[in-house]
Structure 1
């Protein structure tokens, strides 16, 4: 009985500590699944870059995702396990990613191969509502991304290198929402390259 109680306590602590994926992605409660399509926009012509399918758990975490390119080739597949997330890629070993909660609204997300070689690591800083404040890469290229919001919608991402020099700034506009507040159509424009992307979201709710 004591072992069962400790197991339940550990699961509860982990569930409360790590941030929900729907909060990071600014998605509403009750979302069951979603498909995200990313397009490059040049001279008002759209070209599909990739498509991502996501299935969510009841407590707002990504249970499974699959990303393919415009030709349908696998880019990434993820599966949530009890203590980690498995990331699968074509032509290389799977990654096993573990999230560790840190003080001051932070998470350390580290990914390893099965041989325990660390492949990448990022520190995520969060706002009080669970949205991302900034992310810092502990591996090359050691960039930090700063996230800015207007009316609870993502409006800008500033990317700086390890010397605190701005590498790029992405201006973000949500052009359409559904009745639950999810952004269904988003445009992103780089201030450095003027490259434009359009992101379409097709959510499904309980």
Structure 2
């Protein structure tokens, strides 16, 4: 599960055939950067989870990202290179993500060490509009995340194991948008664990 979620956060884009990150993240064309701040909500009390900053290229790819904890410690950094994405995390050697575009709106994203040892891999399945339909872990857990949309908004994320057993069912609601349609405040609630996450987004255009 952890590997699949990290791959979802990475949303690596490495070639001209890959889907734009702005499309995957439901962001408008021309956006320059975002700051994402997430909290766990328990009994109306907010607990800081992370802050993630992302800088985009002119054609909608993630150029650079940094995720920190409540103390400002770096949890993850990514940097777009010509043919790969370099990911750095604490106490681990860097990973280099490469993609291979496949038929039927699919993209294989694999993470390797500098010595070319594969560490993770996922298959991204896309909808025709460039949004993510599902992500299949193809290396460790073999879990699959399914993404559902209503009127262009993400409304549900379902996670199942390789035997099709339900692992999580998360409802997603956007509580506030700006004039460009960017969701500024999102609530995600698991119907299985009853955990609630609040995600606030600050866009730069």
TM-score bucket (shorter structure): over 0.9
Q: What secondary structure, in the 3-state scheme, does the structure 2 residue paired with 1:199 have?
A: strand
Distance 2:80 2:149 in 1: 28
| Matched residue, 2:68 | 68
Distance 1:180 1:121 in 2: 34
Distance 1:17 1:62 in 2: 15
Distance 2:32 2:69 in 1: 23
Distance 1:139 1:52 in 2: 26
Q: Which consecutive aligned stretches of 4+ in structure 1 deviate over 6 angstroms post-superposition?
A: none
**Where in structure 2 are there 5+ consecutive unaligned residues?**
1-13
| Matched residue, 2:124 | 124
Q: CA RMSD in A?
A: 0.9
Q: What secondary structure, in the 3-state scheme, does the structure 1 residue paired with 2:129 have?
A: coil
| Matched residue, 1:189 | 189
Q: How many correspondences in the alignment?
A: 192
Distance 2:37 2:148 in 1: 22
2:35 equivalent to 1:35: yes
What's the TM-score, normalizing by structure 2? 0.92
Deviation for aligned residue 1:139: 1.9
Deviation for aligned residue 1:131: 0.1
What's the TM-score, normalizing by structure 1? 0.92
**Where in structure 1 are there 5+ consecutive unaligned residues?**
1-13
Q: Which has the larger radius of gyration?
A: 1
| Matched residue, 1:53 | 53
